Amino acid sequence: MKRTDLIPVVILLPLLGFVAAQVTETTHPAPEPRVSAVPVEAHAEAGRLGIARHMAEAAHLAPAPTPAAATDATHDLGDVRQRLAVGSAGTYINEILVERDSALARWPDRTSQPVKVWIGSGTGIKGWSDTFPARVRDAFEEWSDLGIPVRFEFVTDSLDADVHVVWIDHFDTPISGKTLWARDRSWWIVNANITLALHHNAGEALDDSSVKAIALHEVGHLLGLDHTSDTTDIMTARVRVRDLSNADRATMKLLYSLPPGSIRQGK
C-alpha cells in the first residue's frame, strides 16, 4: 500500500508486520462527498506478528460544515514553515508532507465537543471477544491522552457518531482493517469509519493484543498521521512494535499544533 489519509496494523506475537499506504487526490469536487479509503491487509507469519498493508485514497469533498474553531485558524505559510523547521526534529512530519504533496490533514479542536465514536459489536462472528471494544477504546484514548486538542466520547447510538467502528470476519483481500475518512477542502477531517477483521485473510484469529495494535495504527491514520520508515514507530510501514514511540507522540503533537492544508505557496 502506499499512504495517506488512512490505516491498519496487526499483531500476534512480539513482532508486527508490514503496512503500506497510497494516496491519490482528486481536485474536482463531486456531487456526493467522497471519503478516503484505506484497506489494511495482514496475515500472520510463524513466530512473528502479522503483515498489515494499507491503501489510501483521498478526495476533495463537497463543502462541509466546519466548526468555528477550525475557520478561525490562521494559515500563515511563513509561520507554519518556521514552526515546522523548529519542531520537526524527532518526528516524521516531513515524511507525511512528502506523501501528501506538502499538505497536512487533521481534526479541528474537539475538546469541548468531543468526537463521538460508536464501536459496534461482532457478536455472532467466529472469533469475537467481548474484550475487543475495550481494546479499541484504549487505542483512541492513548492517542488523545497525548494532550492533543481532540477528545473522544463513546456513544451507544450509531446515528450520533462522527466515527464508526465495525467488525467483519475477514477481508477478501489480505488485509486486517480499513479506515475511511473524509475531509473538507481546507483539509479539516470531518468524519471517519474503521472496519476491523477478526481473522487475517489466511485464517489466523486476532487476539486482544493484535486488535489493540491494529487500532493504534489505524486511529493514528484517522487522526491524520501517515507512515514512517522507522520500524520502531507504531506508524511504520512495517510495524514491529505494540506501543507508541517517542516519534509517534512528537509527530502527533506537532501536527495538532499546526493548521491543516498545504504549506506550498499559492496552494
Question: What confidence category does residue 47 fall into, taking pLDDT thresholds of 50, 70 and 90?
Answer: very low
- pLDDT in the model for residue 69: 45
Instruction: Examine the pLDDT at 73 and tell me if it is beyond 60.
Output: no
* Mean pLDDT value across residues 129-145: 98
State the pLDDT at residue 43: 24
Q: Where does the pLDDT of residue 248 fall: very low under 50, low under 70, confident under 90, or very high at 90 and above?
A: very high
Give the pLDDT confidence score for residue 202 in this predicted structure.
Answer: 87
Average pLDDT, the chain: 77
Tell me if 163 is assigned to some domain.
Answer: yes
pLDDT of residue 267: 53
Within a domain: residue 13?
no
Highest mean predicted confidence (pLDDT) among 26-40, 76-90, 146-160 = 146-160
Question: Is position 20 within any domain?
Answer: no
How many folded domains does the chain comprise?
1
Joined together, the cell numbers standing for residue 65 give 460544515
The DSSP bridge partners found for residue 143 are none
Structural domain of 219: 25-262
Answer whether residue 14 shows pLDDT above 50: no
User: With 80 as the cut, is the pLDDT of residue 88 above it?
Assistant: yes
Cβ–Cβ < 8 Å for 148, 2: no
Cα torsion at 5, 110, 239, 9 (round to 10°)?
-70
Mean pLDDT calculated for residue range 85-107 = 94
Chain segment 161-182, per-residue pLDDT in tens: 999 999 999 988 877 878 889 9
Q: Is residue 104 part of a domain?
A: yes
Per-residue pLDDT at 41 exceeds 60: no
User: pLDDT tens across 105-131, in order?
Assistant: 999 999 999 999 999 999 999 999 999
Q: What number is the average pLDDT over the span 220-227?
A: 93
Identify the CATH number of the domain in which residue 159 sits.
3.40.390.10
Q: With respect to residue 119, please indicate whether it lies within any of the assigned structural domains.
A: yes
Q: Is residue 97 part of a domain?
A: yes
pLDDT at position 62 over 70:
no
Helices 208-222, 132-144: axis angle to 10 degrees equals 40
Q: Which residue has the cell 512473528?
A: 48
Residue 61 lies in a domain: yes
Q: Give pairs for 190-193: CB < 8 Å, separation 24+.
A: 190/61, 190/64, 190/66, 190/162, 191/35, 191/162, 191/163, 192/35, 192/162, 192/163, 192/164, 192/222, 193/35, 193/163, 193/164, 193/165, 193/166
Report yes or no on 222 lying in a domain. Answer: yes
